[in-house]
């Protein structure tokens, strides 16, 4: 199995209306819903976190690395746990105003934002996504065909240089 990465880089830093984007696709292991996640799939989560972090640093957005790593973990894990496509794709796009992460898992079932039981060991992923997006002035949602889940964060305003 190989990791296929295609990156479009228009500028090393974000200037004016330019966009920086990175797209990644990987194959997922087919399994029944009651089986645990295979190790090959579980390794994809930290791989995707590292790629997103590196791309954000390249774009000059180190202040968004930690929240986007957590968002990447949640969306990729959800895609691997609940998706039913042959693969998973990740698209990270950065502009001067927003950073947007989109994960496509091929599933046609809409993710549910349901309150988990207090002692539940799972079921909080989309709550975490919603909270982080809100904290950073962004939003999240699902595509009309339910195959993609996305979130966006607002890029912090440039700080004025100290005088």
Which pair of tokens denotes residue 116? 């988990």
Contact 41, 54 (CB under 8 A): no
Q: Where residue 17 falls among pLDDT bands split at 50, 70, 90?
A: low
Is the Cα dihedral 82, 70, 21, 44 positive or negative? negative
Q: For 21-25, 32-36, 42-46, 107-111, which range has the lowest pLDDT when averaged over its residues?
A: 107-111
d(C-alpha 8, C-alpha 151), whole Å: 20
pTM for the full predicted model: 0.81
Q: Where are the alpha helices (DSSP H) in the chain?
A: 39-42, 44-58, 65-82, 125-135
Higher pLDDT, 115 or 53: 53
Task: Give residue 116's pLDDT band: very low, low, confident or very high (50, 70, 90).
Answer: low
Mean of all residue pLDDT scores within the chain: 83
Angle, helix 125-135 to helix 65-82, in steps of 10 degrees: 150
- Residue 16 DSSP one-character state: T
Instruction: Average the pLDDT over 28-34 and give the result.
Output: 82
DSSP string covering 22-62: EEEEEE-----TTSPPPHHHHTHHHHHHHHHHHHHHHTT-G
> How many C-beta atoms lie closer than 10 Å to residue 51's C-beta?
18
Q: Answer yes or no: is pLDDT of 141 > 80.
A: yes
Q: Where are the domains of the chain?
A: 4-10+18-154
Q: Classify domain 4-10+18-154 by CATH architecture.
A: 2-Layer Sandwich (3.30)
Angstrom CA distances, 12 to 15, 66, 86, 123, 142, stand at 9, 20, 33, 38, 30
Residue 113: is its pLDDT beyond 70? no
Residue 12 confidence (pLDDT): 46
Is the pLDDT confidence value at 89 over 90?
Answer: yes
Say yes or no to pLDDT of 130 above 50.
yes
Q: Which of 23, 24, 34 is nearest to 2 (CA)?
A: 24
pLDDT bucket at 146, cuts 50 / 70 / 90: confident
The percentage of the chain sitting over the pLDDT mark of 70, rounded to a whole number, equals 77
pLDDT tens-digit profile of 34-77?
A: 888 899 999 999 999 999 999 999 999 999 999 999 999 999 99
Q: What are the residues whose beta carbons fall under 8 Å from the beta carbon of 9, sequence distance 6 or more?
A: 20, 58
């Amino acid at each position: 199995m190989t990791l296929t990465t295609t990156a479009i880089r228009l500028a090393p830093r974000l200037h004016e209306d330019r966009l920086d984007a990175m797209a990644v696709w990987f194959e997922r292991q087919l399994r029944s819903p009651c089986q645990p996640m295979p190790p090959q799939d579980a390794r994809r989560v930290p791989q995707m976190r590292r790629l997103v972090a590196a791309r954000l640093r390249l774009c000059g957005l180190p202040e968004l690395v930690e929240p986007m790593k957590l968002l990447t973990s949640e969306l990729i894990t959800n895609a691997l746990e609940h998706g039913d496509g042959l693969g998973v794709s990740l698209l990270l796009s950065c502009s001067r105003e927003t950073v947007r992460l989109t994960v496509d898992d091929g599933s046609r079932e809409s993710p549910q934002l349901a309150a988990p039981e207090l002692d539940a060991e799972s079921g909080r992923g989309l709550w975490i996504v919603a909270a982080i997006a809100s904290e950073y002035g962004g939003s999240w949602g699902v595509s009309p065909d339910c195959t993609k889940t996305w979130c966006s964060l607002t890029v912090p305003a440039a700080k004025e240089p100290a005088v």
